[in-house]
Amino acid sequence: MKNFYLKTIALLSILFLTTFSVEAQQNEDLLNILIKKGLVTQQEADSIRSEQAIKEQAKRDKDKENQHNISIGSRALQISGLVQARYQDFQQTSVNNAFDLHRARLDAKGNITDNWSYEVYTEFAASTKLLDAYTAYKFGDFLKVSAGQFKVPLSYESLVSDSQLDFIDRSQTVEALAGRSKDIIGNQNGRDIGLQINGSFAKLNDHYLFDYILGVFNGAGYNVTTDNNNYKDFAGRLVIHPIRALSFGGSLYEGEDVPAATTKVPNPGSQVRHRYGFDGQFVSGPFSVGAEYLHGTDGAINRDGWYAQAGYYVVPKFLQILGKYDTYDPNKVNPTDRTYIYTTGVNFVFNQWTKLSVDYLFRHEEATVQIQNNILEAQLQIAF
């Protein structure tokens, strides 16, 4: 019995030393001493060595996974970034095929305390632009308050990180109605300046049933020091997750904007700018499918569009094939201005940081005279 207790004490001592990362040689010396004294058997010592080797290898693997990360001041400052180099081959002879830097971004964020966090996200491609700059306070999973410049909670696809998009480009509808390249207020990257609350509630087994976001914004877009009207815009989004793999979302935006001045209307007044939309996503193993509808009103003009897409990993975590149907109508009154885009894509995911995407966009217009404007795109992405 005494020998049993001595062995137990010896084993606990070794585990204690292992837990606190004592040098391997010290552990080895201690094991040898215990073997000589007969307190542990050679088999028990070999078992301890094996467990220690497994732990050390796991630590090395973890360090290797994180070696691309830069961390300064513990969690107070973490640096990450995104580079997307793109090539576009245009069917239109009037447009030159070209390489370009689609995105080149640097992200600095961190936690000052367990509750206070911040982020400063900057774009360097083409011209330097501040994308996100905000601070946030988290009361719990149910409530976080953010103030500054960030994405407006409108549309599922608009809120997806640029590095996580399945296709190189977002859909026409999102580009036109979620404050992006074709929106009436110009390209705002889906962002604005304001105050927002968000959170999750009603936990169901291993996930929350509801996610919500509510925000009040200037409505003038990002990097605008003064609002162009006295009205503040409201945006909200609610997402339901009946099961972990499935989600349904709804978005609403109510606001006003001031259209660009023209020679006929040199001093335009403000006009309504309303948006609403619905979306659904399902992801299970290698298979994913999603769809989204958006409707927009700008003054007296009504617009809408939708897309549906699906993807499948032919080779798990490496080779993904995708298809997308995308349609947009910029003016519901005009019967000949709707555009359709059929996109096929292939993603080669080399690792969690590097991806090569190749998309072919077959474009079709309702107009009588069709434009030969299909596009072949290839993009190499590094996210660190």
pLDDT the model gives residue 69: 53
Q: Which residue(s) pair with 280 in the sheet? A: 248, 291
pLDDT the model gives residue 287: 98
**% of the chain at pLDDT higher than 90:** 65
Among the residue ranges 62-66, 71-75, 299-303, the one predicted with the least confidence is 62-66
Q: What is the DSSP letter of 127?
A: S
Backbone dihedral angles phi then psi of residue 129, each to the nearest 5 degrees: -140, 140
Q: Quick one: tokens of 43? A: 């088999």
HEC per residue, 156-186? HHHHCCHHHCCCCCCCHHHHHHCCCCCCCCC
Q: Quick one: tokens of 383? A: 């996210």
pLDDT the model gives residue 368: 75
pLDDT the model gives residue 26: 62
- Give domain limits for the chain: 2-64, 68-383
| Amino acid, res. 209 | L
Mean pLDDT calculated for residue range 284-311:
97
Q: Quick one: tokens of 86? A: 């793109």
pLDDT the model gives residue 46: 77
Among the residue ranges 148-152, 180-184, 290-294, the one predicted with the least confidence is 180-184
Q: What is the DSSP letter of 353?
A: S
Mean pLDDT calculated for residue range 337-360:
97
> Regarding beta strands 98-111 and 375-383, do their DSSP bridges make them parallel or antiparallel, or are they unpaired?
unpaired
Measured between alpha carbons, how far is 227 from 266 in angstroms, rounded to an integer?
19
Please list, in sequence order, all residues whose beta carbon lies within 8 angstroms of the beta carbon of residue 291, skipping any fewer than 6 positions away.
Answer: 279, 280, 306, 307, 308, 309
Of residues 44 and 248, more confidence is placed in 248
Of 311, 378, 317, 379, residue with least CA distance to 349:
317
- CB environment 278-309: b (16+ within 10 A), e (fewer): ebbbeeeeeebebbbbbbbbbeeeebbbbbbb
Instruction: Choose from 3-12, 202-211, 354-363 the range with maximum mean pLDDT.
Output: 354-363
Looking at every residue in the chain, the average pLDDT score rounds to: 87
Of 188, 162, 80, residue with least CA distance to 357:
162
Element (DSSP H or E) covering residue 63: helix 42-65
Which SS3 state, helix, strand or coil, does residue 30 take? helix
Please list, in sequence order, all residues whose beta carbon lies within 8 angstroms of the beta carbon of residue 117, skipping any fewer than 6 positions away.
Answer: 109, 110, 111, 135, 136, 137, 138
Summarised one tens digit per residue, pLDDT across range 265-277 is 677 778 899 999 9
The terminus-to-terminus CA distance of the chain in angstroms comes to 56
pLDDT above 80 (res 141): yes
**% of the chain at pLDDT higher than 70:** 87
Mean pLDDT calculated for residue range 32-40:
73
pLDDT the model gives residue 51: 77
Summarised one tens digit per residue, pLDDT across range 206-218 is 899 999 999 999 9
CB neighbourhood size of 188 (10 A): 19
Compute the C-alpha angle 77/81/82, nearest 5°: 165
**Measured CA distances, 186 to 22, 175, 183, 251, 260 (Å):** 59, 10, 5, 20, 10
CATH class of 68-383: mainly beta
Mean pLDDT calculated for residue range 122-137:
96
pLDDT above 50 (res 326): yes
Which SS3 state, helix, strand or coil, does residue 86 take? strand
pLDDT the model gives residue 325: 98
Summarised one tens digit per residue, pLDDT across range 154-200 is 999 999 999 999 999 999 999 999 988 888 778 899 999 999 999 99
pLDDT above 80 (res 72): no
